[in-house]
Structure 1
C-alpha cells in the first residue's frame, strides 16, 4: 500500500486556524487567578490567631496554584517546540506525526506531550519504524487521552510484544472509532490479543488490517469479535495471502449489518471461501464498496456469489479486477449489475473473458446514470467492444463518466479507435482517459489521433490522457504542439513521443 493510500473518507477532519497547544495554554491561564488580583477582607472581630492561620493557608494555596500554572506553561512551551521541530502541530484535537522519522527520544517526548492533550481525538504515528518495540511506553500513558477516536499505527514494525500491549490498551479506549494497524506483518501471529481487545470497542466504525500477515486462524478470531462490533462501517483485510480458507463456516461477518465497505482483495480466497461469502455478502444490505480483486480462484467458483450482488441495492463501488473470470461468471455478474443503479465505480480490468463480450454489460451501461469510473484495462477488448461503447456514449447514457481506462487492449484496430474518438466529445464530465498500449507493444497513431484532439477541445474538465507507447509522427507531434499553444496547457498527454 502506498503512503498516499492511507487516507480514509470516514475520518476527515475540519482544521481550524488555532493549534490545540495554544488553546490549552489559554484555557489553563483562564482557570487560575492572577497574583494580586484577589481582594482579601479581614473581619476585625476575628482573633489574631485565626487570621494568622488563614493568611498562611491562602498564600500557600496561591503559591501552589502559581507553581502549577508555571509548570504547565513551561511544559506547553516544550511541547510546542517539540512539534515545531518535527514540522507539525496539534490542530483541532488532532496530532499527526505520520512519517516523521521519529527517534526513540522523540517517542519519549511524545509521551510527555500527552498530559497536555486531554481532549485529543486523533493520533496518527504511522510510518515510523521506531514505534516498533517501544509501543508499551506509549500505551502506559493512554489513560491520559481517553477521548481518542482515531488511532493509526500503520507500518510501524510492531512486534509481538507491541501487539499484546495494544490488546490490553483497547478496552480503555471506549470512544475509539477508527483503528488502522495496516502493514505490520507480526500482527497475524498475535492477533488473539487484538481480537480480545476489540470485543470492548463497541463504537468502532473502521478496522484496517491490510497486509498484516493474517492467516486462516486470524479470520476465526476476528469472526468471534465481529459480534461485538455492530457499528462497524469499514473492514479492510486485504493483501493477507495466507488468509485463504479462513472464511469457511464464518457467521460473525453476517452480523455487521451496518458495514459499508469490505476489502478482501489479494486474500487468496478459495472456492470454499467464495461459497461462504455467497451466503454472507447478500445479507450486508448497507454495503456500498466491495473489492474482491486479485483472487484468481473466483474465476470458476463465483457464479452464485456474483449473481447475488443484486441484493446490494446501495452498492456504489464494485472492484473485481484480475479474478480470472470465465464466461459463466462474467454473465452472472453482468445480469446482477443491472440491478445496481447506484454504481459509481466499476473495475473489471485484467479479466480476458470480457473481450468480445462487452455487449453483456450493455443494459448496465445504459441504466447506470451515476457511473463515474469505468476501468476495462487488459480485458482483450476488440473493435466490436469499443464500437459498442461509442454507441452507448452517443446515446448519452454515460454522461457523468469522469475516468475511463481502456489501456492494454492492443487488439482494437484503427477503425475502432476512430469511431470511439469521434464520440468522445460527448463525455463532458471526463477528466482522465487512458488508452495506453502494453509495455511490449509500440504502434503508430492513425488518423484517429486528429479526432482525439478535436474531441479534447470540447471536453472542459479533461486533464490527463494516457497514450503510452503510441508513436506520433513528426506531423502529429506538430499538431500536438500547436494544440498545446492554442488550447489549455493544463492537459497532459502521456505518450511515447514521435518517430
Structure 2
C-alpha cells in the first residue's frame, strides 16, 4: 500500500497547479523546521520511510537527489534539489555535532567516537548528502564490527572518496565482503587502512576481490590483522591489478611468513612501490632470500622496514647484491634483527651504493657494537640525517670511530645512542665532533652511564652553539649524574632555545627506596624555564618533589604565554609530608 501510494503521488505530481506547487514548497520548508528538534534523538528514533519521502529525504529508489529532481523538472515538476540539500545537510550537521566533531564537506573524521551499529546505519542514510567527501575515517570504534553491510547500497553517492580508514573496528568477515562490494563504486580510492582488525585474517580475499584491474589504490595498511599464509597468497594474486600501489604495510602479522613464497614474486610487477613495511612478520632466512630477489625489481623503493625479524639473522649476505639495486632507498630499518658479524659485513658492502640513504636504524643488534670501526667509515654520513644505534653494545673503539665519522659531516639531525654504557665518561669525544650551528635536533642518551663531567661537557657544547637546533634531549636513567651536573646544564640552558622535550627521569625505584631529592638543582631549572621558550614537555619521573616545588613548576604556565607539560610521579614524595604546610601537591 505504501509503495502504491508513493507511485500515485509521483503520477499526480504532473497534474498539480502552480498554486499546489507553491503550497508544497511551503510544506516542505515547514517539515524541515519541524524535523530539527526531533533529529537530536534520531540516534534512537529514526524517521520512517514515508517521512523521508515527504521531507525530501532519501528516495526509496536510492537515486541521487540531483538526479531525481532533474527527472521531475523534465516532467514539468518543480526543481527541489536546493531544499533537499538543505534538509540533508542539516541532518548531517546534527549527526556529526552530537558526536562532538566538526563538519567538513570533504573529510568525515569520526575516529574515537564510540560509534555503534545503529550509528553506522544512520551514517549510511546520510551518504547521499556527502557527495563531496574525499575521506572517511571511522577508526578506533570497536562496536561497529558486523554493521558495514549497510554501506554498499549508499556508497555510490561518495564516488569521489579517496581515503577510507577503519583501523581497530573489530571488523568481521561480512564487513570485508561489504567493503569488497563498495570498491566497485569508488573509482578514485587511493588509501585503505584496515589495521588492527583481527577479523581481516583469513578473509582478505573478500576485500581484494572487489578491486578492478587498473585500480588507483596507492596505500594499503594491514598492520596486525592476523594475516595468514592464505592471505599472503591472495594478496600476491591481487598485485597485478594494483599497478599504482606505492605503500604496503604488513607489519606485525607473524603468521604471514608461510605465504611469502607466493607474495614476494608478485611484488616484481609493482615497480612503483615506494614503501614496504614488514616489521615483526616472523621472517626467516629463506623468506628474506625470496623477498630479496623481488627487491631488485623495485627501483622506486624508498623505505624498507624488516625490523624485529630475528629469524633473518645471518641471511643478509645472500641478499646484499639485491639490496645494492635500491639506489633510491632513503630509510632502512633493521633494528632488533639479531644481526651477526657476516650481516654487518654485508651491510658494509651495500651501504656505499645507497646514495640517497637518510635514515638507518640498527638498534638492538648487539653484534654491531663490536664492528663499528668497520661500519661507520662506510656510512654516507655526508647525507645521513638519522642514525639509531640504541642498545648496540658499542665498544670504546667503535664509539671513537663514530665520533670521528660525525665530525666529517654536518647533516645529522637525529642520533640515538641510548643503552650504550661506553658513552658514560666519554661524551666529550662526541660533543667535540659537533660544529657550532650543528643541525642536530634529537640526541638520545638514555641509560648511558653518564657522569657529572658528561653533563658539564653537554653544557659547554650548548654554550658554544653546537646544540642550537636541538629539540629533543633524552637523559633519563643516568642516575650517576650529581647535583653539579644538572645545575650547570640548566644554568647554560639559554643556548637551548629550540628545545621542546627534555627527559631527566630516573630509574623506577622500589617502594621502600628513598627517591633522590631534586631540591639541590631545581632552583637552576626554575630559573632556566623562562629562557626555554619552546619547551613543551619536561619529564622528572623518579625525583622526589615537595608540594612547593611542584607548585613552582606549574607556576611557570600561569603567564598564559606557554603551556609546559610536567611529567612527575603522581604520588607525593617523601618530602611532601615534611612540607605539608607549604601547600598542596599540584594534580
- How far the C-alpha of 1:28 sits from its partner, in A, is 9.7
Distance 2:162 2:555 in 1: 51
What is the match of residue 376 of structure 1? 445
Greater mean deviation of Cα atoms: 327-336 or 474-483: 474-483
Q: How does 1:19-418 map to 2 (within 5 A)?
A: 29=67, 34=71, 37=74, 80=127, 92-143=161-212, 146-250=215-319, 251-309=321-379, 311-366=380-435, 369-418=438-487
2:567 to 478, 494, 497: 494
Matched residue, 1:457:
530
Find out whether 1:439 has 2:527 as its counterpart: no
Alpha-carbon distance change, 368 to 27 in structure 1, aligned in 2, over 3 angstroms: farther
**Could you state the TM-score of these two structures normalised by the residue count of structure 1?**
0.82
How far did residue 217 of structure 1 move? 1.2
Contact 1:320-1:348 at 8 Å conserved across structures: yes
Kept in 2: contact 1:207–1:236 (CA 8 A): yes
SS across alignment from 2:315:
coil
**Mapped partners of 1:245, 1:217: distance in 2:** 11
1:22 is matched with none
Tell me the equivalent position of 1:471. 544
Q: Secondary structure at the match of 2:206?
A: helix
Larger displacement relative to structure 2 (198-207 or 486-495)? 486-495
Decide whether aligned partners of structure 1 residues 387 and 135 sit closer, same or farther in structure 2, where only a CA change above 3 A counts: same
| Residues in 2 aligned to 1:189 and 1:28: alpha-carbon distance in whole angstroms | 51
Aligned with 1:98: secondary structure? coil
Contact 1:274 1:302 in 2 (8 A): no
Unaligned runs of 5+ in 1: 1-24, 39-75
SS of match in other structure, 2:532: coil
> Which whole-Å deviations, capped at 9, do the CAs of 1:364-411 have from their partners, x for residues lacking one?
322562111111010111111111110111112211111111111111
Moved more, 359-368 or 128-137: 359-368
Secondary structure of 1:374's counterpart equals strand
Greater relative contact order (CA < 8 Å, ≥ 6 in sequence): 1
Map Cα deviations across residues 122-164 of structure 1 (whole Å, 9 max, x no partner).
1111111111111111222222671111111111111111111
User: How big is the alpha-carbon RMSD for the aligned residues of Structure 1 and Structure 2?
Assistant: 2.9
Deviation at 1:113, TM superposition (A): 0.9
CA gap 1:100/1:28 in 2 versus in 1, 3 angstroms: farther
Q: Distance in 1 between matches of 2:66 and 2:300?
A: 36
- Shift of the 478–168 alpha-carbon distance from structure 1 to 2, 3 Å rule, reads closer
How many residues in Structure 1 have an aligned counterpart in Structure 2? 438
Report how far residue 340 of structure 1 moved.
3.0
Q: Per-residue deviation at 1:92?
A: 4.9
CA spacing shift, 1:471–1:36, aligned 2, 3 Å = closer
Q: Provide Cα deviations, 1:290-322, integer angstroms capped at 9, x if missing partner.
A: 11001111111332112212x342211111100
After superposition, the C-alpha distances for 1:3-29 in whole angstroms (9 at most, x for unaligned) are xxxxxxxxxxxxxxxxxxxxxx87995
Secondary structure of residue in 2 paired with 1:493: strand
Q: Tell me the distance in 1 between the aligned counterparts of 2:372 and 2:203.
A: 44
Whole-angstrom distance in 1 between the partners of 2:250 and 2:430: 38
Provide the TM-score with structure 2 as the length reference.
0.70
How much does 1:477 deviate?
Answer: 3.9
Deviation string for 1:8-57 (max 9, x for gaps)? xxxxxxxxxxxxxxxxx879959x9847849xxxxxxxxxxxxxxxxxxx
Select 2:496's aligned residue among 415, 421, 427.
427
> Over residues 167-216 of structure 1, what are the superposed CA-to-partner deviations in whole Å (9 max), with x where a residue is unaligned?
11112211111111111111222211111111110000000001100011
Change (3 A) 1:28 1:135: farther
